[in-house]
Structure 1
Amino acid sequence: MAPRSNRVASPESKKEKAARVTDPGTPSQKRPRRPVRRALAIVSGVLAVLIVLLILFWNWDWFVPLVNRRASAALHRPVSIAHLHVSPGFTTTVSVDDLRIEQPKGFEKEKELFASARKATVSFNVWRYLTGKGIEVPLIALDTPKGDIVSLADGRNNYTFSDPDAKPAKATSGSDPAPLPKIGEVSITGGDIRVALAKLATDMHVLIHTTPEEKGKDATIVVDLKGRYTRAPITGHIVSGSLLALTDSDKPYPVDARIENGPTYMTLKGSVNDPLHFKGTKLVLHFAGPDMALLYGLTGIPIPHTPAYNVSGHLDYTATQIRFTDFSGKMGSSDIGGTISVEPREKPMKVDAALHSRNVDLKDLGGFIGAKPGDQESRKAKKSDRILPSTPINVPKLNAVNAHLTYDGKHIENRDMPLDDIVADITIHDGAITIGKLDFAVGNGTLAMSGALDPTKNDQFKTHFKVDVSRLSIQRLMKATHTFKGEGTLGGHVTLSSTGNSIASLLGNGDGGVTLVVDHGGDVSALLPDLMGLKVGSAILSALGIPQRSDLRCFVADMPLRNGILSTNSFLLMTNNTRTLGGGTVNLRNETLDYHVTTRSTGFNVLSFPGRVNISGPLASPDIVPGAEIVGRAAATAALAVAFPPAVLLPTIQFGVGKGSACEDALKQADTHPAAGVKPGATTGSGKATVSPSASSGAHGAHPSHGKHRHNGGNAHGKNAHANGKHLTPEQIHAVWEKRLKQN
């Protein structure tokens, strides 16, 4: 049998086997994997156990130190929490216990923490944020949050979270504001935030809590106020919709507020349509109080002093403007209405007010010229020796707004001021006041004022004013006296240029003048005292020797004003039988008079004491002292009455100085060199003021239509004419003479 060609391989020797195992270079030879797998299994098991243990024993408080450090660095003040709870998921909820935020640097003396809360919980919709749909906060819950908001008198505050040591960052322009997060439920329990603002003299507590949504009732935010605001006690109760309702553009957001700040009371009730996008409101605002000036703390809008008011209207707003529209109510004894628009974003704030009244009492507007409005204040003013308002014009408050005010008072009700209506147009810009129009109607005439007040560096005002008196009815002007009769018109101008901070100081430092002319007509017994600004009645007339009922023929007052001193170029008053000339000064700095008037009969007259009368002392209550001539005539009369009674009338007889052209000369001078700087012109008639051909008899020419209104004196004039005539019995002469002596 042939031998086999292939023999069976002999078993490997131990050496060959060991070489194969230890030789990694041989491709067909690999290490066994069983020990590696076993090791991996052990590691995996350990890790699984550790993960299970970590899940079982995980505590988020491990991150509390990190959270404290990061929050303190972000808020630039110490922050600490006691516990941290996190519920991860597509909506992650984070809760902290015992939140404490300390006061920042410089406010360590504050007794309370800047902020704290027993527990604070916030939920975030992580998935919405990761998918680029914005920030959604489904839940904000605060348990017993407290705060301490403080602003010091030097401007420092504890609610600015910037680094005090950092350099100010450059402002970036053109960047769009970050979108507001979508907020769901807000739950606040026992909130108490103290607000202390030194500049506003405010220290009050804002108490906040929320009510949940219930069957038939929406969720609300409730705010209560208590403490002091702008130095006055404040209480308030405000109920509004939830924050979730605030973002619902399809549902009106409800508001119901009641606030009392001292004596000022305000309510606001209604709803706001889509408040985040300024889609309009249905709000009714009502406020009442003793003085609108007290509203400055609540509104930031400076308002002059007013009497008690009660006003209601509609409140609306846009992104840039707040409007109080169609409001109406009472202010003192006047009604008030109109619309006020405010643009609070403007610096300074911009205010546009269009106001009107059907019936207005001018004393209710006294605060607009620095006087105190109301009857009580008026009575106090009458007891004072000073009659010019000295209340300073508040420059800082004027700088707080740029305002445009128009006012239309249809009918003026004031027994002491027989004016018919008032129209005003006033602008305040950068502290400067421009009076474009302040017009009063008096019958067919007008009393019109215009001017400006420009502020200076020392809280004073540089001013210039002009008052135009045009065709002012003397009868209407003297309506309050109930004694004036007949016709006549007053015309002319008053100018003033000065520096001061009140009406009293402006007049006391002023330059300018007064040029006034009166056409013929009227009863001088009521006219003269008021034209001279004196409320001493017939005592002056009696001292002047002017009969109680004298027909006014001509009046010219041309008086320049220099440094608060009103002197006299011309002062002439002519009646049907007397001519009175005046001279001297009126000191508006201290409101005193040093004046004299001299009266002469223009024809033969009996029972009259002609001569000079001195008027001096305070404007409110001057002293009237007869001059030497009057005293001498009275003494001579008394002596003759004893020595030779039949001659008792001799000192009272005047043969007259003649009527002459005194009125014509005074009018010519006033028209050529008027003290006011403006010619009277046509202010007393339809054309240029001229002297009629009857000037020689003391009459100043008037518009022809006035001629038919000239009175013949009536019964009173007839009585006086008879008393001045020659047909008197001795008894009548003696009675008239005794009366005149008592009056003088």
Structure 2
Amino acid sequence: MARGPMSRGIKILIGLAATLVVLVVIAVVFIATFDWNRARPMINDKVSTELNRPFAINGDLTVQWRREPGVTGWRGWVPWPNVTARDITLGNPDWAETPQMASLAAVEARLSPLPLIARRVVIPQIQLTGPTASLQRLADGRANWNFSLPAKEGDEAKATPWDLDIGTIGFDTAKVDLDDAVVQAKLSLAVDPLGEPIPFSQLTAFGNKPAEDVTGGDGKPRAEAGDKAAAGAEDATDAPTPGDYAFGWKMTGSYKAQKVSGEGKVGGLLALQDAATPFPLQADLRAGATRVRLAGTLTDPMKLGALDLRLALSGNSMADLYALTGVTLPDTPPYSTDGRLRADLHNPAGAVFDYSGFNGKVGDSDLHGDIRYAATQPRPKLTGKLRSDLLQLADLGPLIGLPADGADKADSKEKAAQAKDDKSGQPAGKVLPYAEFRTDRWRAMDADVSLTGKRIVHSERLPLTDLNARLILEDGTLRLMPLRFGVAGGSLDAAIRLDGGDTPLRGRIDLQARSLALKQLFPGFEPMRTSLGEINGKAAIDGTGNSVAALLGTANGSLSILINDGAISRGLTEIAGLNVANYLITTMFGDDTVKINCAAADMRIEKGVMHPRIFLFDTENALVEVEGPINLRDETLDLDITPHSKGFRIFSLRSPLYVQGTFANPKAGVHTGPLLARGAGMVALGALLTPAAGLLALIAPSVGEDNACTQMVEDMKQRGRKAPAKR
């Protein structure tokens, strides 16, 4: 009788266990044999509600239970669900142009069931087949990749964290189209798996070559800093090793009205989630004539932490980079650079980009240095120090609106007269630069950049030796202080201020030329090689207008120049390229070389017209007086040149000469009739006292000797005291 209750209890336990086993078996059989397609409507409705978008699994939804290979022990007997869903689509919001945002031909995933007990979702592998996406953003900022999920009261309080662990994500060719009105981009991107991963160290910004093979053809590296950046932060021995390249991509389309294309490689998708491992990037991009090549790493890619790249840029003009980067750079001849770009994208004051140790060419000039771009407020700022060991002066022409070969074109009046309007806005037959300053870009950022040129190459006509310049751009105002050239043993110093905040632009130029040695200025002219003479001058000009031509066409100010102890002949004017002067010199002096004791000019500039107050050449044979306006507004000349012979020198010329016409096509000749005086002649009545006194400050005596200009200016001062108040 004692065993009855025990036997009854055991029977109950066995029955419960059997029932449980039966239920489990029934559940397993049900799950294993259940037609999951019946669940598709419920799943589609649930996901559509959560995403607030149309979502649909249009094809089969199947679940197959399989033992996971490689899992040992009792866990190896637990089957894993292998889920496959086919023909998946995700719709667009109502405002989008197309009904569908994304699609998948199929998705397959394996789920580890046991970690679910501990609230861990472990998916060792996800395989995507035929993924496509069409991304769109309107000008008002609405984007179809932003989801307005429905808010539910108390969700945050009730939420229990689940850990998500995804092993690998694989896919065949993926296609993505982007239509972004905010950044003005329409792009098509195709991404393919590489098959076999490529180690990061085997690719550079210059293609599928090991870093050690990227040379200039002579076995030497293309750039000192570039090779250091080819593998990202190679100089940091304790830095994490970047992941392998897993995908290749190709892109075509347009960006800000420019055609763009490119190709490259990136790391695996899961590497995006690893903040500790640098994510590899490699790209070769083209936008119009601009080419960008890069290879390096992105740290913490999901949060855009930092960049470390080898970056090579090339194109027709650095100004073209403004549309791509927003960085204001000057117009230049064709350029190429290669250096290291490092960026701190999480700097509290704004992202900071350092392009360091770069080497490059601009036109035929070399360029080296370091620049920094900081995205600060209220405006970003560009700072840097640049140097050029060999600077071609013609390469500076585009900065003021001249074409890259403007120096050569300026020597040919035929070319100037026949020139067609070009993209710089230069009218035919005009000499002064008409290209407008891009003042709208000046207000987009600030800058403080210095440039030193060790050697400047131009020609014997203008022997420049060095350059020292500092450009400061602040709130739309551009200053070049200093702008200093070494010229013919002397210096040419300028201070330039252009206020782009005013409409039209207001500018001021102060210029000083000191101790320009004549024998160095004209080294090809034999009589000048023994000259001890110098050129000294100064100018102060104010004007308004958005180009060099406009500024000079409205200019007010003064220009003074003094030349002592020189020589002049037809040979000199040919060296200087002064075609009209050939005629004048030959007519007045023949082909002989004539010594210049002193040449003095003091010009008043008013509303774009230069009026000589003093314009004299004192030679050994004659005193030559020049009168008449030089109009900078319409680029015309109307000068009278009157020689007054000394002693018994007899001139065959009995009437004054004239120079008329335009800057591009001046014409010289002899007045055939009597010349009506423009006013009382300066030689006859004397020069104004103030201009003559001002010229004295420019006199630089020849070495240890009296200067002929000293006596001539003193004589003008004495005449000025005796002259009438009005001319």
TM, length-normalised to structure 1? 0.69
Aligned-pair Cα RMSD in Å: 4.9
- In the other structure, the counterpart of 1:338 is 369
- In the other structure, the counterpart of 1:440 is 485
- In the other structure, the counterpart of 1:104 is 93
Q: 1:570 aligns with which of 585, 601, 614?
A: 614
Q: 2:517 aligns with which of 445, 467, 473?
A: 473
- In the other structure, the counterpart of 2:690 is 669
Cα distance, 1:408 vs structure 2: 0.8
Q: After TM superposition, list the pairs within 5 Å mapping 1:341-380 onto structure 2.
A: 341-344=372-375, 348-374=379-405
- In the other structure, the counterpart of 1:260 is 286
Q: 1:207 aligns with which of 175, 184, 190?
A: 190
State the secondary structure of the residue aligned to 1:475. helix
Q: Could you tell me whether the CA contact under 8 Å between 2:199 and 2:245 is conserved in 1?
A: no
Q: After TM superposition, list the pairs within 5 Å mapping 1:121-270 onto structure 2.
A: 141-151=127-137, 154=139, 158-159=143-144, 161=146, 184-197=167-180, 202-211=185-194, 218=244, 220-246=246-272, 253-270=279-296
Bigger radius of gyration among the two:
1
Cα distance, 1:360 vs structure 2: 0.7
Q: Could you tell me whether the CA contact under 8 Å between 1:360 and 1:411 is conserved in 2?
A: yes
Q: Distance in 2 between matches of 1:197 and 1:100?
A: 22
Cα distance, 1:67 vs structure 2: 5.5
Q: Does 1:399 align with 2:443?
A: yes
Q: Does 1:119 align with 2:103?
A: no
Change in CA separation of 1:601 and 1:269 when aligned onto 2, cut-off 3 Å: same
Q: Distance in 2 between matches of 1:75 and 1:516?
A: 78
Q: Could you tell me whether the CA contact under 8 Å between 1:659 and 1:697 is conserved in 2?
A: no
The Cα offsets for residues 466-499 of structure 1, whole Å up to 9 and x where unpaired, read as 1122222233334577875523222232222222
- In the other structure, the counterpart of 1:502 is 547
Q: Distance in 1 between matches of 2:376 and 2:81?
A: 38
Q: Distance in 2 between matches of 1:44 and 1:129?
A: 21
Q: Distance in 2 between matches of 1:399 and 1:127?
A: 61
Q: Could you tell me whether the CA contact under 8 Å between 2:580 and 2:667 is conserved in 1?
A: no
Q: Distance in 1 between matches of 2:63 and 2:497?
A: 67
- In the other structure, the counterpart of 1:294 is 320
Q: Distance in 2 between matches of 1:79 and 1:569?
A: 85
Q: 2:353 aligns with which of 317, 322, 332?
A: 322
Q: Does 1:431 align with 2:476?
A: yes
In structure 2, give the amino acid aligned to 1:206. Answer: L
Q: Distance in 1 between matches of 2:561 and 2:580?
A: 21
- In the other structure, the counterpart of 1:310 is 336
Q: 1:463 aligns with which of 500, 507, 527?
A: 507
Change in CA separation of 1:323 and 1:90 when aligned onto 2, cut-off 3 Å: farther
In structure 2, give the amino acid aligned to 1:669. Answer: T
Q: Could you tell me whether the CA contact under 8 Å between 2:488 and 2:518 is conserved in 1?
A: no
Q: Distance in 1 between matches of 2:701 and 2:45?
A: 87
Q: 1:685 aligns with which of 672, 683, 700?
A: 700
Q: Could you tell me whether the CA contact under 8 Å between 2:311 and 2:339 is conserved in 1?
A: yes
Cα distance, 1:204 vs structure 2: 3.0
Q: Distance in 1 between matches of 2:272 and 2:454?
A: 44
Range 122-131 or range 543-552, more displaced = 122-131
Cα distance, 1:189 vs structure 2: 1.9
Q: Could you tell me whether the CA contact under 8 Å between 2:340 and 2:355 is conserved in 1?
A: yes
Change in CA separation of 1:529 and 1:617 when aligned onto 2, cut-off 3 Å: farther
Change in CA separation of 1:658 and 1:310 when aligned onto 2, cut-off 3 Å: closer
Q: Could you tell me whether the CA contact under 8 Å between 2:701 and 2:707 is conserved in 1?
A: no
The Cα offsets for residues 257-308 of structure 1, whole Å up to 9 and x where unpaired, read as 2233344333223456777799987643233334333333443323333333
Change in CA separation of 1:160 and 1:282 when aligned onto 2, cut-off 3 Å: closer
Change in CA separation of 1:293 and 1:509 when aligned onto 2, cut-off 3 Å: same
Change in CA separation of 1:191 and 1:431 when aligned onto 2, cut-off 3 Å: farther
In structure 1, give the amino acid aligned to 2:353. Answer: I
Q: Distance in 1 between matches of 2:30 and 2:58?
A: 21
State the secondary structure of the residue aligned to 2:320. helix
Q: Distance in 1 between matches of 2:48 and 2:715?
A: 89
Q: Could you tell me whether the CA contact under 8 Å between 1:463 and 1:497 is conserved in 2?
A: yes
Change in CA separation of 1:566 and 1:150 when aligned onto 2, cut-off 3 Å: farther
The Cα offsets for residues 551-603 of structure 1, whole Å up to 9 and x where unpaired, read as 11222222122222222222122112211222221221211112222221132
State the secondary structure of the residue aligned to 1:617. strand
State the secondary structure of the residue aligned to 1:520. strand
Cα distance, 1:386 vs structure 2: 0.6
The Cα offsets for residues 316-370 of structure 1, whole Å up to 9 and x where unpaired, read as 2233322222121322221111122223466644322322111111111212112
Q: Distance in 1 between matches of 2:477 and 2:608?
A: 23
Q: 2:647 aligns with which of 584, 603, 613?
A: 603
Range 408-417 or range 492-501, more displaced = 492-501
- In the other structure, the counterpart of 2:10 is none
Change in CA separation of 1:682 and 1:457 when aligned onto 2, cut-off 3 Å: closer
Q: Could you tell me whether the CA contact under 8 Å between 1:659 and 1:696 is conserved in 2?
A: no
Change in CA separation of 1:219 and 1:239 when aligned onto 2, cut-off 3 Å: closer
Q: After TM superposition, list the pairs within 5 Å mapping 1:35-46 onto structure 2.
A: none
The Cα offsets for residues 123-150 of structure 1, whole Å up to 9 and x where unpaired, read as 89999999899x9986554322222334
TM, length-normalised to structure 2? 0.70
State the secondary structure of the residue aligned to 1:567. strand
- In the other structure, the counterpart of 1:421 is 466
State the secondary structure of the residue aligned to 2:433. coil
Q: Could you tell me whether the CA contact under 8 Å between 1:610 and 1:630 is conserved in 2?
A: no
In structure 1, give the amino acid aligned to 2:691. Answer: A
State the identity as a percent.
Answer: 25
Cα distance, 1:97 vs structure 2: 3.8
Cα distance, 1:377 vs structure 2: 6.9
State the secondary structure of the residue aligned to 1:501. coil
Q: Could you tell me whether the CA contact under 8 Å between 1:291 and 1:307 is conserved in 2?
A: yes
Q: Distance in 2 between matches of 1:599 and 1:542?
A: 13
The Cα offsets for residues 536-562 of structure 1, whole Å up to 9 and x where unpaired, read as 241122345577422112222221222
Q: Distance in 2 between matches of 1:619 and 1:500?
A: 20
Cα distance, 1:190 vs structure 2: 1.3
Q: Distance in 2 between matches of 1:417 and 1:356?
A: 21
Change in CA separation of 1:62 and 1:451 when aligned onto 2, cut-off 3 Å: farther
Range 545-554 or range 67-76, more displaced = 67-76
Q: Could you tell me whether the CA contact under 8 Å between 1:313 and 1:327 is conserved in 2?
A: yes
In structure 2, give the amino acid aligned to 1:82. Answer: N
Q: Could you tell me whether the CA contact under 8 Å between 1:544 and 1:613 is conserved in 2?
A: no
Change in CA separation of 1:57 and 1:464 when aligned onto 2, cut-off 3 Å: same
Change in CA separation of 1:694 and 1:77 when aligned onto 2, cut-off 3 Å: closer
Q: Could you tell me whether the CA contact under 8 Å between 1:525 and 1:550 is conserved in 2?
A: no
